Amino acid sequence: MAELRIELIAVGDELLMGMTLDTNSHYIAQSLAEAGLRLQRLIWVSDSEEAIVAALKESWERSDVIIVTGGLGPTHDDLTRPAIAAFFKDNLVVREDLRQDILKRFESRGLKPAPGWETMAEFPTGATAIPNERGAAPGIHYSRDGRELFAVPGVPSEMKGMTQQFIIQKLSAQRTGAYQFRVIKTIGVGESHLAQLIGDPTRLLPTTLAFLPSVDNGVTLRLSIYAEAGSEEEKSLNRSEAIVCRAVQRYIYATKETSLEAVIVEILRSKGLRLALAESCTGGMITSRIVNVPGSSDVLDRGLVTYSDRSKTELLGVDTGLIVEYGAVSEDVARAMAEGVRKRAGVDIGISVTGIAGPGGASDTKPVGLTYIGLSDQSGCVVNKYLFAGNRQENRRRSTLAALTLLHGYLVK
């Protein structure tokens, strides 16, 4: 049982220059993983026939499947089609059936074909066309020497259609096993501490373990293996998951693909609790993450951005004397903010955050990254102090995660 070796070649100067985010490659990799397949290598190449051919030669030697995105349009810099023909030593000829399909596509939209459109009907003689139901340029498919090559347009909607309706279906039919994985999502702990708790990773073999840290979501542990359903390899994946879960149990918030905020909303709903937020340095980030969850209106009453000192006093009832004596970024003000938003909203839980995101606003006693987060309920209020070490955006994101982590810990204790 061998795993398909799949490589992706993404064509475009805009990718190499950082002008366009390569969301196509992310989508293809994710789609393959969902189908039990795995992308093993990603190559970016320029809009150059020579560069594309060179990449094809490299990939062809070491892979079973090559997927190419981009460069199938009608302009002078769309060179994937002639590059593929050159690589396979095929001729490019205008296929009348493709020409008519492309023309009908324009006509159905009431569009006049732009100059040069017929180049999209030029097709390698040894290839099969991949239907494009969302655009004009057909994709290209080769099956030769036990290998597969697929080329699809770079237009995201067209790429997605061909990926799902042609590539994934064909590759799924070929595989004998599947790339299987488990995810264990953790918060409130770093990857080095998690590694220490788990211990020697060789005891998890043949399962592989990866640590995926994120400023926004804590550390995700991914266990993976290529296996057939019901095989000993699949059983080893289940055993490894159990071992890791026992080792890091206190930090786990989910063992499936979900978000921390979704877990929090579900717990709040199940307990019949409602929440209100008072944010300063995070500027609504915490509220935004909660609101992203469908059904959050069941648990969220309000989220206030109280950035100025005046807003803290007017909207939350924070005593101006506290701000003058201790400063807006202080334990006392964070406590008053959390209690104020909870009482004024008439809810069960109030969360506050106040900090110095930077780069300015710091002092000798209050450095950039200093943040206080408060949680208030009817029994009292707890305030945690943090000192983050990042730029402005990183500090705001870390503060958001810390607030959600504090709330989650309160809900599951």
Fold of 271-412: Maf protein (3.90.950)
The secondary structure of residue 126, as a DSSP letter, is T
**For the residues of 268-323, what is the DSSP string, one character each?**
HHHHT--EEEEESTTTTHHHHHHHTSTTGGGTEEEEEE--SHHHHHHHH---HHHH
The per-residue pLDDT for 404 is: 98
CA–centroid distance for 300 within its chain? 25
The per-residue pLDDT for 149 is: 98
Per-residue pLDDT band for 104 (boundaries 50, 70, 90) equals confident
The per-residue pLDDT for 228 is: 78
The per-residue pLDDT for 332 is: 98
b/e 23-45 (16+ beta carbons within 10 angstroms → b): ebbebbbebbeebbbbbbeebbb
The per-residue pLDDT for 173 is: 87
Domains 178-254 and 271-412 share a fold: no
Question: pLDDT at residue 1 above 60?
Answer: no
Query: Would you state the structure tokens that stand for residue 141, as one six-digit string?
Result: 């498919």
Query: Looking at residues 200-209, what average pLDDT do you find?
Result: 94
Instruction: Spell out the domain ranges in the chain.
Output: 6-174, 178-254, 271-412
Question: pLDDT at residue 280 above 70?
Answer: yes
Question: pLDDT at residue 229 above 80?
Answer: no
The per-residue pLDDT for 136 is: 87
**Packing angle of the helix pair 392-412, 260-271 (nearest 10 deg):** 30
The secondary structure of residue 60, as a DSSP letter, is H
- With 0-12 CB in 10 A as exposed, 13-18 as middle and 19+ as buried, what is 272? exposed
Element (H, E) at 229: none
Residues 207 and 205: their CA atoms lie apart, in Å, by: 4
- Cα dihedral sign for 181, 39, 260, 251? positive
Tell me the CA distances in angstroms from 394 to 67, 98, 399, one per residue in order.
35, 50, 8
Q: Locate tokens 């995810």: which residue?
A: 183
Please give the CATH architecture assigned to the domain spanning 178-254.
2-Layer Sandwich (3.30)
**Packing angle of the helix pair 49-62, 80-87 (nearest 10 deg):** 50
Least confident segment among 26-30, 94-98, 160-164, 388-392: 94-98
**For the residues of 354-396, what is the DSSP string, one character each?**
EE--SSSS--SSS-TTEEEEEEEETTEEEEEEEE--S-HHHHH
Per-residue pLDDT band for 126 (boundaries 50, 70, 90) equals very high
- HSE-CB at 59 with a 13 A cutoff on CA atoms is 30
Please give the CATH architecture assigned to the domain spanning 6-174.
3-Layer(aba) Sandwich (3.40)
Query: Would you state the structure tokens that stand for residue 21, as one six-digit string?
Result: 């985010």
pLDDT (tens digit per residue) in 237-251: 999 999 999 999 999
pLDDT (tens digit per residue) in 23-50: 999 999 999 999 999 999 999 999 999 9
pLDDT (tens digit per residue) in 339-359: 999 999 999 999 999 999 999
